[in-house]
Amino acid sequence: MAMGEHSAVALHYVIDGPADGPPLVLLGSLGSALDMWEPQLPALTEQWRVIRVDHRGHGGSPVPPGPYTVAELAGDVLALLNRLELNRVNFAGLSLGGMVGMYLGSETPERIDRLTLMATSAGWPDPTPWQARIEAVSNGGTEAIAPAVVKNWFTPDYAAAQPDRVAWAEDSVRKTPDLGYLGCCQAIRDWDHTNRLGAITAPTLAIWGTADPATPEEPHGATIAAGIPGVRFERVDGAHLLNIERADEVNTLLTSHLGG
């Protein structure tokens, strides 16, 4: 099933938790792989069938030629749900994963039960920074941008206290194939879903980091809070990868939203 110009790719995924548990798809940020969700597993796998997924061009997923669109990334996820014979799932996405979640929530509402959006955006008023990042990766690969990108992922205090986590994060960006990273950057640059937020019918939780320089609440969180009917908006004291920096709080919010 293609939702963009190109056909879907067979995404890499890992399933944890009870086989008969309600399915929960976790989809992460640009430059990450499915191991970014490990802090969520202890809290979620007792009750939910947790399906962690790598975007196309990331982790263990194929790297088709770009550019990509968010519609195509969402088509990949739908193709995976069809392969797994899952008609309806809970979905939690952070950053790029949240964009895919918004697309699925508005365009295929019958497939999404409960939706969680973290540190994400419905579109960039000014896409210039994305064009600059595309040029940086085109010239120097993901290696050239890894330290600058990861500066946005954690607060300075957390980064200072957790150097191993910072090293893991930089390695995650570096290991992302240049073509996959570029294709997803192009998808983000061209993404504007603001006028479709009102079509999201799933009960939605939005979690925002108060110190997130990548997708700050103004304008990104505020746009989503204003646009999705009945959204529950929560803040945690963290930066972009708040599921890691504030894992306990995020896990509590998630399990509460999902009915745990």
Per-residue pLDDT of the chain (260 residues), as tens digits, is 345 556 899 999 999 999 999 999 999 999 999 999 999 999 999 999 999 999 999 999 999 999 999 999 999 999 999 999 999 999 999 999 999 999 999 999 999 999 999 999 999 999 999 999 999 999 999 999 999 999 999 999 999 999 999 999 999 999 999 999 999 999 999 999 999 999 999 999 999 999 999 999 999 999 999 999 999 999 999 999 999 999 999 999 999 999 95
The pTM assigned to this predicted structure is: 0.96
Contacts of 167 (CB under 8 A, 6+ apart): none
- Considering only CA atoms, which of 234, 231, 225 is closest in space to residue 114? 231
CA 186 and chain centroid, separation: 15
The CATH architecture assigned to 13-258 reads 3-Layer(aba) Sandwich (3.40)
Rounded to whole angstroms, how far apart are CA atoms 63 and 198? 32
What is the token pair recorded at 128? 């210039």
Half-sphere exposure of 109 (CA within 13 A, CB side): 11
For residues 151-182, one letter each, b for 16 or more C-beta atoms within 10 angstroms of the residue's C-beta and e for the rest, the string is: bbbbbeebbeeeeebbeebbebbbebbbebbb
Yes or no: say if 123 and 148 are a contact pair by the CB < 8 Å rule: no
| Domain extents in the chain | 13-258
